[in-house]
Chains A and B, each alone.
Chain A
Amino acid sequence: MATKVIAGHQVQMNDEGFMTNPQEWDREVAAAIAQAEGIPELTLQHWRVIDFCRQDGMASGKAPTLRRITALAGVSTKDMFALFPKGPAKKVAKISGLGKPEGCV
Protein backbone atom coordinates (compact mmCIF):
# COMPACT_ATOMS: atom_id res chain seq x y z
CA MET A 1 0.00 0.00 0.00
CA ALA A 2 1.34 3.41 -0.91
CA THR A 3 0.20 6.95 -1.47
CA LYS A 4 0.75 8.10 -5.03
CA VAL A 5 0.24 11.44 -6.67
CA ILE A 6 -1.74 11.03 -9.86
CA ALA A 7 -2.92 14.00 -11.92
CA GLY A 8 -2.30 16.19 -8.91
CA HIS A 9 -4.38 14.01 -6.60
CA GLN A 10 -3.15 11.97 -3.69
CA VAL A 11 -4.49 8.44 -4.01
CA GLN A 12 -3.98 5.22 -2.08
CA MET A 13 -2.84 2.33 -4.23
CA ASN A 14 -2.02 -1.28 -3.45
CA ASP A 15 1.00 -3.20 -4.73
CA GLU A 16 -0.86 -4.37 -7.82
CA GLY A 17 -1.75 -0.84 -8.85
CA PHE A 18 -5.41 -0.83 -7.83
CA MET A 19 -6.76 2.16 -5.97
CA THR A 20 -8.02 1.23 -2.53
CA ASN A 21 -10.37 4.14 -1.97
CA PRO A 22 -12.78 4.68 -4.87
CA GLN A 23 -13.77 8.05 -3.40
CA GLU A 24 -10.35 9.42 -4.33
CA TRP A 25 -11.11 8.86 -7.99
CA ASP A 26 -12.08 11.42 -10.56
CA ARG A 27 -11.98 11.61 -14.34
CA GLU A 28 -8.52 13.17 -14.44
CA VAL A 29 -7.14 10.35 -12.31
CA ALA A 30 -8.80 7.90 -14.70
CA ALA A 31 -7.15 9.52 -17.72
CA ALA A 32 -3.73 9.46 -16.04
CA ILE A 33 -3.99 5.81 -15.02
CA ALA A 34 -5.24 4.94 -18.52
CA GLN A 35 -2.18 6.58 -20.04
CA ALA A 36 0.11 4.65 -17.75
CA GLU A 37 -1.75 1.47 -18.75
CA GLY A 38 -1.06 2.14 -22.41
CA ILE A 39 -4.30 3.84 -23.40
CA PRO A 40 -3.24 7.32 -24.54
CA GLU A 41 -6.71 8.73 -24.89
CA LEU A 42 -10.05 7.75 -23.42
CA THR A 43 -12.77 7.86 -26.06
CA LEU A 44 -16.52 7.95 -25.57
CA GLN A 45 -16.52 4.17 -25.93
CA HIS A 46 -13.99 3.86 -23.09
CA TRP A 47 -16.02 6.21 -20.92
CA ARG A 48 -19.18 4.22 -21.49
CA VAL A 49 -17.46 1.20 -19.97
CA ILE A 50 -15.75 3.17 -17.21
CA ASP A 51 -18.99 4.89 -16.24
CA PHE A 52 -20.74 1.53 -16.06
CA CYS A 53 -17.96 0.10 -13.90
CA ARG A 54 -18.03 3.09 -11.57
CA GLN A 55 -21.77 2.82 -11.16
CA ASP A 56 -21.75 -0.94 -10.74
CA GLY A 57 -18.65 -0.96 -8.53
CA MET A 58 -19.90 1.74 -6.21
CA ALA A 59 -23.27 0.02 -5.86
CA SER A 60 -21.92 -3.48 -5.21
CA GLY A 61 -18.63 -2.64 -3.55
CA LYS A 62 -16.63 -4.72 -6.00
CA ALA A 63 -15.31 -4.35 -9.51
CA PRO A 64 -17.45 -6.06 -12.17
CA THR A 65 -16.02 -9.09 -13.97
CA LEU A 66 -15.58 -9.02 -17.73
CA ARG A 67 -18.65 -11.17 -18.26
CA ARG A 68 -20.71 -8.83 -16.12
CA ILE A 69 -19.51 -5.85 -18.14
CA THR A 70 -20.27 -7.47 -21.48
CA ALA A 71 -23.68 -8.64 -20.25
CA LEU A 72 -24.80 -5.37 -18.71
CA ALA A 73 -22.91 -2.53 -20.40
CA GLY A 74 -23.75 -3.61 -23.94
CA VAL A 75 -20.12 -3.96 -25.00
CA SER A 76 -18.92 -7.12 -26.71
CA THR A 77 -15.96 -9.20 -25.54
CA LYS A 78 -14.17 -8.32 -28.78
CA ASP A 79 -14.68 -4.60 -28.20
CA MET A 80 -13.53 -4.89 -24.60
CA PHE A 81 -10.24 -6.46 -25.67
CA ALA A 82 -9.84 -3.79 -28.35
CA LEU A 83 -10.62 -0.91 -25.97
CA PHE A 84 -8.64 -2.23 -23.01
CA PRO A 85 -6.07 -4.66 -24.46
CA LYS A 86 -4.35 -7.33 -22.36
CA GLY A 87 -6.73 -8.04 -19.52
CA PRO A 88 -9.68 -5.66 -19.99
CA ALA A 89 -11.54 -6.30 -16.72
CA LYS A 90 -8.45 -5.66 -14.61
CA LYS A 91 -7.44 -2.68 -16.71
CA VAL A 92 -10.82 -1.00 -16.59
CA ALA A 93 -11.06 -1.68 -12.85
CA LYS A 94 -7.74 0.12 -12.34
CA ILE A 95 -8.83 3.04 -14.50
CA SER A 96 -12.17 3.18 -12.67
CA GLY A 97 -10.49 3.35 -9.28
CA LEU A 98 -11.94 0.02 -8.17
CA GLY A 99 -10.32 -3.07 -6.71
CA LYS A 100 -9.27 -6.20 -8.57
CA PRO A 101 -12.24 -8.02 -10.10
CA GLU A 102 -12.88 -11.42 -8.54
CA GLY A 103 -14.55 -14.48 -10.02
CA CYS A 104 -13.61 -17.18 -12.46
CA VAL A 105 -15.77 -16.07 -15.37
Chain B
Amino acid sequence: MVTATATATTPAFVVTQEDKPRHVAFICSKGTLDMVYPALVMGWAALGNGIDVTIFFTFWGLDMINKNRVDHIEIAPVGNTAMKMSMMGLNTGNLGIPQLAGVLPGMTAFATKLMKDKIKALEVPSVREYLQMLVDAGAKLYACKMSVDMMGLRQEDFIEGVEAIVTAGDFMDMTDGAQVVFI
Protein backbone atom coordinates (compact mmCIF):
# COMPACT_ATOMS: atom_id res chain seq x y z
CA MET B 1 0.00 0.00 0.00
CA VAL B 2 1.28 3.38 -0.90
CA THR B 3 0.57 6.20 1.45
CA ALA B 4 0.69 9.66 0.11
CA THR B 5 2.39 12.09 2.42
CA ALA B 6 0.59 15.34 2.52
CA THR B 7 3.08 18.13 2.89
CA ALA B 8 1.70 21.30 4.33
CA THR B 9 3.15 23.93 2.08
CA THR B 10 3.15 27.55 3.04
CA PRO B 11 2.28 29.75 0.09
CA ALA B 12 5.43 31.42 -1.18
CA PHE B 13 4.09 34.92 -0.60
CA VAL B 14 3.73 34.49 3.13
CA VAL B 15 6.28 36.18 5.35
CA THR B 16 6.50 33.68 8.16
CA GLN B 17 6.96 34.78 11.74
CA GLU B 18 9.09 33.13 14.35
CA ASP B 19 7.36 30.81 16.78
CA LYS B 20 7.72 33.02 19.83
CA PRO B 21 6.37 36.51 19.24
CA ARG B 22 8.80 39.34 19.83
CA HIS B 23 8.20 41.20 23.08
CA VAL B 24 9.39 44.70 23.92
CA ALA B 25 9.17 46.08 27.45
CA PHE B 26 9.47 49.77 28.21
CA ILE B 27 10.39 51.17 31.61
CA CYS B 28 9.07 54.73 31.84
CA SER B 29 10.80 56.62 34.64
CA LYS B 30 10.34 60.23 33.57
CA GLY B 31 7.43 62.63 33.75
CA THR B 32 8.39 65.39 31.32
CA LEU B 33 6.79 65.87 27.94
CA ASP B 34 9.91 64.98 25.94
CA MET B 35 10.42 61.78 27.92
CA VAL B 36 6.86 60.44 27.99
CA TYR B 37 6.34 60.29 24.23
CA PRO B 38 9.16 57.90 23.20
CA ALA B 39 7.57 54.85 24.83
CA LEU B 40 4.16 55.79 23.43
CA VAL B 41 5.45 56.17 19.90
CA MET B 42 7.69 53.11 19.97
CA GLY B 43 5.10 51.02 21.80
CA TRP B 44 2.49 51.87 19.20
CA ALA B 45 4.93 51.06 16.41
CA ALA B 46 5.72 47.73 18.07
CA LEU B 47 2.05 46.79 18.37
CA GLY B 48 1.60 47.78 14.74
CA ASN B 49 4.28 45.26 13.88
CA GLY B 50 2.67 42.45 15.80
CA ILE B 51 5.08 42.75 18.73
CA ASP B 52 3.89 42.25 22.32
CA VAL B 53 4.28 45.35 24.50
CA THR B 54 4.63 45.73 28.26
CA ILE B 55 5.12 49.11 29.93
CA PHE B 56 6.32 49.50 33.51
CA PHE B 57 5.87 52.95 35.06
CA THR B 58 8.23 53.93 37.84
CA PHE B 59 9.16 57.12 39.68
CA TRP B 60 8.12 60.20 37.68
CA GLY B 61 6.89 57.94 34.92
CA LEU B 62 3.86 57.31 37.15
CA ASP B 63 2.62 60.76 36.12
CA MET B 64 1.79 59.23 32.75
CA ILE B 65 -0.81 56.92 34.26
CA ASN B 66 -1.88 59.15 37.15
CA LYS B 67 -5.43 60.35 36.37
CA ASN B 68 -4.72 63.75 37.89
CA ARG B 69 -1.38 64.25 36.18
CA VAL B 70 -1.63 62.71 32.71
CA ASP B 71 -3.16 65.81 31.14
CA HIS B 72 -0.63 68.11 32.81
CA ILE B 73 2.72 66.72 31.67
CA GLU B 74 5.09 69.65 31.19
CA ILE B 75 8.47 70.61 29.86
CA ALA B 76 10.74 73.18 31.51
CA PRO B 77 13.29 75.30 29.63
CA VAL B 78 15.53 75.45 32.72
CA GLY B 79 18.48 73.09 32.51
CA ASN B 80 17.54 72.02 29.01
CA THR B 81 20.39 73.12 26.78
CA ALA B 82 18.80 71.56 23.70
CA MET B 83 15.85 73.93 23.82
CA LYS B 84 16.67 76.84 21.55
CA MET B 85 14.89 80.13 21.05
CA SER B 86 14.53 79.24 17.38
CA MET B 87 11.87 76.72 18.46
CA MET B 88 9.62 79.69 19.07
CA GLY B 89 10.01 80.70 15.45
CA LEU B 90 12.67 83.31 16.17
CA ASN B 91 15.58 83.42 13.75
CA THR B 92 18.18 83.10 16.49
CA GLY B 93 20.19 80.09 15.35
CA ASN B 94 21.73 78.14 18.19
CA LEU B 95 20.97 80.70 20.85
CA GLY B 96 19.48 78.96 23.87
CA ILE B 97 16.70 80.20 26.09
CA PRO B 98 18.53 82.13 28.84
CA GLN B 99 18.42 80.11 32.05
CA LEU B 100 17.46 83.24 33.97
CA ALA B 101 14.44 83.73 31.70
CA GLY B 102 13.54 80.09 32.21
CA VAL B 103 12.94 80.61 35.92
CA LEU B 104 10.40 83.36 35.36
CA PRO B 105 6.85 82.40 36.32
CA GLY B 106 4.96 81.08 33.33
CA MET B 107 7.99 80.01 31.30
CA THR B 108 7.37 76.30 31.88
CA ALA B 109 3.73 76.71 30.93
CA PHE B 110 4.81 78.64 27.85
CA ALA B 111 7.34 76.03 26.74
CA THR B 112 4.79 73.29 27.39
CA LYS B 113 2.14 75.00 25.31
CA LEU B 114 4.63 75.49 22.50
CA MET B 115 5.57 71.84 22.43
CA LYS B 116 1.99 70.59 22.83
CA ASP B 117 0.95 72.78 19.90
CA LYS B 118 3.69 71.25 17.77
CA ILE B 119 2.61 67.75 18.80
CA LYS B 120 -1.00 68.56 17.99
CA ALA B 121 -0.08 70.06 14.62
CA LEU B 122 1.42 66.70 13.66
CA GLU B 123 -1.86 65.04 14.65
CA VAL B 124 -0.06 63.10 17.36
CA PRO B 125 -2.51 62.12 20.12
CA SER B 126 -2.37 63.44 23.68
CA VAL B 127 -0.71 61.23 26.31
CA ARG B 128 -4.07 60.10 27.67
CA GLU B 129 -5.40 59.17 24.24
CA TYR B 130 -2.16 57.47 23.25
CA LEU B 131 -2.24 55.28 26.35
CA GLN B 132 -5.84 54.33 25.61
CA MET B 133 -4.82 53.35 22.06
CA LEU B 134 -1.98 51.23 23.43
CA VAL B 135 -4.27 49.49 25.92
CA ASP B 136 -6.89 48.86 23.20
CA ALA B 137 -4.15 47.41 21.02
CA GLY B 138 -3.17 44.98 23.76
CA ALA B 139 -0.29 46.65 25.60
CA LYS B 140 0.03 45.67 29.25
CA LEU B 141 0.59 48.55 31.68
CA TYR B 142 1.96 48.13 35.20
CA ALA B 143 2.85 50.51 38.01
CA CYS B 144 5.98 50.04 40.10
CA LYS B 145 5.10 49.09 43.67
CA MET B 146 7.98 50.86 45.37
CA SER B 147 7.27 54.14 43.60
CA VAL B 148 3.54 53.83 44.20
CA ASP B 149 4.17 53.31 47.93
CA MET B 150 6.68 56.15 48.04
CA MET B 151 4.26 58.59 46.43
CA GLY B 152 1.28 57.39 48.43
CA LEU B 153 -0.72 56.40 45.35
CA ARG B 154 -3.32 53.67 44.93
CA GLN B 155 -4.69 51.68 42.00
CA GLU B 156 -7.72 54.02 41.84
CA ASP B 157 -5.40 56.96 41.15
CA PHE B 158 -4.50 55.43 37.82
CA ILE B 159 -6.20 55.63 34.46
CA GLU B 160 -8.16 52.63 33.25
CA GLY B 161 -6.05 49.99 31.62
CA VAL B 162 -3.32 49.81 34.24
CA GLU B 163 -3.41 46.10 35.03
CA ALA B 164 -1.76 46.05 38.43
CA ILE B 165 0.82 47.43 40.83
CA VAL B 166 3.76 45.05 40.66
CA THR B 167 7.23 44.65 42.14
CA ALA B 168 10.46 44.85 40.18
CA GLY B 169 10.73 41.08 40.55
CA ASP B 170 7.29 40.59 39.02
CA PHE B 171 8.38 42.79 36.14
CA MET B 172 11.45 40.61 35.58
CA ASP B 173 9.25 37.51 35.50
CA MET B 174 6.77 38.95 33.02
CA THR B 175 9.45 40.24 30.67
CA ASP B 176 11.42 37.02 30.42
CA GLY B 177 13.02 37.02 26.98
CA ALA B 178 11.77 40.52 26.13
CA GLN B 179 13.84 43.40 24.84
CA VAL B 180 13.86 46.08 27.52
CA VAL B 181 13.99 49.80 26.81
CA PHE B 182 14.64 52.12 29.76
CA ILE B 183 13.42 55.67 29.36
Considering only residues 128-153 of chain B, those with a C-beta below 8 Å from chain A are 133, 136-138
B172 within 8 A of A: no
B50 within 8 A of A: yes
Question: Assuming the A-B contacts A13-B13, A76-B136, A105-B125, are A87 and B41 also in contact, with contact meaning beta carbons closer than 8 angstroms in the complex?
Answer: no
Binding site for A on B (CB under 8 A): 10-15, 17, 21, 41, 44-45, 47-50, 123-125, 133, 136-138
What would 23 A/B residue contacts be, using CB atoms closer than 8 Å? Answer: A4-B12, A4-B13, A6-B13, A13-B13, A32-B11, A33-B13, A36-B10, A37-B14, A66-B48, A67-B125, A77-B133, A78-B136, A81-B47, A81-B138, A86-B21, A87-B49, A89-B48, A90-B48, A104-B41, A104-B44, A105-B44, A105-B123, A105-B124
B41 surroundings in chain A (CB, below 8 A): 104-105
A6 surroundings in chain B (CB, below 8 A): 11, 13
A17 touches B14 (CB 8 A): yes
B137 surroundings in chain A (CB, below 8 A): 77-78, 81
A41 within 8 A of B: no
A66 surroundings in chain B (CB, below 8 A): 48
Nearest CB on B from A39, distance (A): 12
Binding site for B on A (CB under 8 A): 4, 6, 13, 16-17, 32-33, 36-37, 66-67, 76-78, 81, 85-90, 104-105
A104 touches B13 (CB 8 A): no
Q: How many angstroms between the C-alpha atoms of A2 and B140 in the bound complex?
A: 38
B13 surroundings in chain A (CB, below 8 A): 4, 6, 13, 17, 33, 36
Nearest CB on A from B15, distance (A): 5
Q: How many angstroms between the C-alpha atoms of A31 and B20 in the bound complex?
A: 26
A33 surroundings in chain B (CB, below 8 A): 13
Q: How many angstroms between the C-alpha atoms of A66 and B45 in the bound complex?
A: 10
B15 surroundings in chain A (CB, below 8 A): 16-17
Residue of A nearest to B45 (CB): A104
B44 surroundings in chain A (CB, below 8 A): 104-105
A37 surroundings in chain B (CB, below 8 A): 14
Residue of A nearest to B136 (CB): A77
A16 surroundings in chain B (CB, below 8 A): 15
Max chain B C-beta neighbours (<10 A), residue from A4, A77, A89: A77
